Structure 1
């Protein structure tokens, strides 16, 4: 017997319709690439998105066509989130931090019919146009007074605001099948070409529901949300959609992601919640420390994209009273998979015990299931000790890659994440490494992330990376790379002694190298593959150290 409920499709446009109807006066504030601060309301966002939907139709964009964007976080980018997806086209957010070869591959592979871009990305657009096998239409996201003059005759440009002004806001969002594709995002492609992950309207709305929950990102109409995580990467972790669903004020930072700019925006707009990667937050915390100030409004931050060092959690929570929500996800997961929201019985634990839990990536949000398995695929226990390959499944997890459906992304219905993890009895998952980054010494696994977390607890360490390098006896041994804090004279002996009693002796790095910085990928992650290549001979026979395993 069927239920007697209404059947209404889960569509991206319904999020905007809800925001316009129930939160029309809520603000959207954007720091623009033009240099000024722009303000309007959800009602204005909805009207302009309908205008842009008409404009896309006027440009010949049809259902299923890909609409590319090369843009920072801002109100025009958000208008395209709904104008493209809501009209039946596919929003394709492009990461401008990728190499030009990868960008050209992505635009060609996606077959973008039009690419919208922020002014600062004109050099990228011109480089792309020179490589395209067929003409593309480009739209500069600015008003007529800021229109750039292209030096490349292949770049045919239109003006975003001219398109908006040329069309009316009389547009009815079509009743699409909820399984229709809504947006497209490519992986960062650290090995091989990037792969496209195609999200549906249904998966996007379900992800939005789950990510907004109290035990997930905990968003509401009482929040002012600053998405520092870029809109060009996995839809800014879903925050633009969440803000429409719950009616939160949105603050977009544009291209200015330095500590000073972010701090000023957080304070002036009274931001209560933000989200970003650890490298960005390090700059914000350093700026606040230089000023000798704290935050007057911010109460929590979501940290993901890379493991959050315990030292960063302690600094946010103990000095600034900003709750840290350590999260984990992937492009293939839309992206939220787990969030480290403490359970009731953990609130009364000691500070050290709570910090140890918060170093984990957390527990699944409803809709996601996970397990860890050994090399043969047998499921391992959730005892906080067993370590295995992490597999996940759920309604917003990718089952295959765009235009590569013959290459299965699933193993018996589970997505193999490529992460190595452990899960404790309370269901809290902790990434111990990427499968390609795990250090295998004498046949045993060593977690590079655990070593990095200990190193970052030292008061004179700004950041730390641990890699496995070839060793003549033990196959691999950990090598610790450290960026000192300004003015520090930290020596190798000091940091190695700091590890005593904090990790198993044979996990202790054999050597320490001090560096000025680390190579970062397109999403802000440290490129450990480059570091392994650079230091692969560090433990050559002439310089090999004696391991504690001896």
Structure 2
């Protein structure tokens, strides 16, 4: 016997309809590329999104066709989130931090019909346009007064606000199949060509429900949320959708992501929750320390994209009373997979043990199942000691890459993440390495992530990267690359001595190389493969 319940499809547009109807006066604040602060409400957002949906139809965009965006976090980008997906086309967020060759490949591979761009990225658009055949229209996300003089784009260039003004807000969001595509995001492509992950309306809505839960990102109508994580990267970890679902205030930082700009925006708009990668938070903490400032309203920050050093967690929590939520996910997971939210018995642990828990990536949100397996594919125990390849499955996990119909990445229905991890008895997962980053020395495994975490505990270390370097006796040995804090006189011997008693003797790096900076990828992650290539023979040439 079937249940006698209404059948309503899970659609992205329903989030906006809910926000307009039940949280219509809630504020959305954006720092714009033009340099000013823009304010309006969810009701305004919904009205303009409907007008833009009509504009997309006027441009001839059909259901399932891709609408590209090359934009910062702001209200116009938010409008496109709903105008594109809600009308049945596919929102395709492009990462402006990728190399122009990769961008051209992605635009052509996705067959974008139109690309919307912030003024910041005009030079990038001018470089990409001659290399691609697919988009016939480029739309500058600004008003007529700020329209640029674009070399070689005049016949294809349109103005965002002109498009809005030309169309009515009389628009009915279509009743789509919830399994139809809603948005598209490509992996950062640090090696090989980027791969497209095509999300559905259903997967996006289920991800939004799960990510908003108290033991996940814990969002509510009482929050003012600042997504520093970019809207061009995995939908800003779902926060624009979550904010609509719960009715939270949204604060968009635009292009100004330096510590001073973020701190001032957090304070001025009374932000309660922020989200970003560790490299961004280093700048924010450094500015707060420099001015001896504190956060008057912010009480939670979500840190993901790369492991969060314990020293950063301690700085947020001890100096600023800001709780750290360590999270893990992937483009292929929409992206949230785990969040490190304490269980009751862990709250009474000694502070060092609580930090040890927070260093883990956390436990699965409902909807994500995970396991670790050995080289033979057999599942390993959740004892906090066994480490193996991390596999996941769930309703917002990709089963196939866009445009690659012949091959599936899945292993017996599970997605291989490429991470090596442990899971403890409480279900808390900890990534010990990427499978390609783990160091095998004398037949034994060494975790580069653990080495980096110890280095970050030193007061003079700004950035730490541990890589495997070839060794004549041990095959591989850990090599530590360090960016020192300004005016530091730290020496190699001092830092190596700092490891004594903190790691097993044979884990201790054999050498330290001090560098001015480390290469970062499009999402703020360290490009370890570049460093491995550069320093692979460090011990052989010593």
- TM-score of the pair, normalised by structure 2: 0.99
Distance 2:126 2:155 in 1: 6
Q: Does 1:239 align with 2:248?
A: no
Distance 2:416 2:136 in 1: 36
Alignment-derived partner of residue 77 in structure 2? 77
CA displacement 1:296-354 (0-9 Å, x = unmatched): 00000000000000000000000000000000000000000000001000000111000
**Residue aligned with 1:410, SS:** coil
Distance 1:153 1:411 in 2: 46
Alignment-derived partner of residue 108 in structure 2? 108
Distance 2:396 2:151 in 1: 42
Extract unaligned runs of 5+ from structure 2: none
Alignment-derived partner of residue 264 in structure 2? 264
**Residue aligned with 2:238, SS:** helix
How much has 1:405 moved relative to structure 2? 2.3
CA displacement 1:34-55 (0-9 Å, x = unmatched): 0000000000000000000000
After TM superposition, which residue ranges in structure 1, 4 or more long, deviate above 4 angstroms? none
Distance 1:25 1:532 in 2: 52
How much has 1:24 moved relative to structure 2? 0.3
413-422 vs 151-160, greater mean Cα deviation: 151-160
**Residue aligned with 1:463, SS:** strand
How much has 1:198 moved relative to structure 2? 0.1
Q: How does 1:110-509 map to 2 (within 5 A)?
A: 110-134=110-134, 136-153=136-153, 156-509=156-509
How much has 1:502 moved relative to structure 2? 0.9
149-158 vs 251-260, greater mean Cα deviation: 149-158
Alignment-derived partner of residue 24 in structure 1? 24
CA displacement 1:47-96 (0-9 Å, x = unmatched): 00000000000000010010000000000000000000000000000000
Distance 1:16 1:465 in 2: 42
CA displacement 1:261-289 (0-9 Å, x = unmatched): 00000000000000000000000000000
Distance 1:75 1:285 in 2: 27
- TM-score of the pair, normalised by structure 1: 0.98
**Residue aligned with 2:405, SS:** strand
Distance 1:405 1:275 in 2: 34
Assess if the C-alpha contact under 8 Å between 1:66 and 1:111 holds in 2: yes
**Residue aligned with 2:102, SS:** helix
CA displacement 1:226-256 (0-9 Å, x = unmatched): 0000000000000000000000000000000
How much has 1:407 moved relative to structure 2? 1.5
How much has 1:156 moved relative to structure 2? 1.2
How much has 1:151 moved relative to structure 2? 1.2
CA displacement 1:104-137 (0-9 Å, x = unmatched): 0000000000000000101111111111135521
Distance 1:469 1:4 in 2: 63
Distance 1:247 1:132 in 2: 40
Distance 2:208 2:523 in 1: 21
How much has 1:487 moved relative to structure 2? 1.2
CA displacement 1:497-529 (0-9 Å, x = unmatched): 111111111111010011111001111100000
Distance 1:267 1:297 in 2: 7
Assess if the C-alpha contact under 8 Å between 1:346 and 1:354 holds in 2: yes
Assess if the C-alpha contact under 8 Å between 1:129 and 1:155 holds in 2: no
Q: How many residues align?
A: 542
Distance 1:176 1:359 in 2: 42
Assess if the C-alpha contact under 8 Å between 1:138 and 1:155 holds in 2: no
How much has 1:154 moved relative to structure 2? 6.7
Assess if the C-alpha contact under 8 Å between 2:111 and 2:135 holds in 1: no
Q: CA RMSD in A?
A: 0.8
Assess if the C-alpha contact under 8 Å between 2:112 and 2:134 holds in 1: no
Assess if the C-alpha contact under 8 Å between 1:223 and 1:272 holds in 2: yes
Q: Does 1:88 align with 2:56?
A: no
Distance 2:174 2:204 in 1: 17
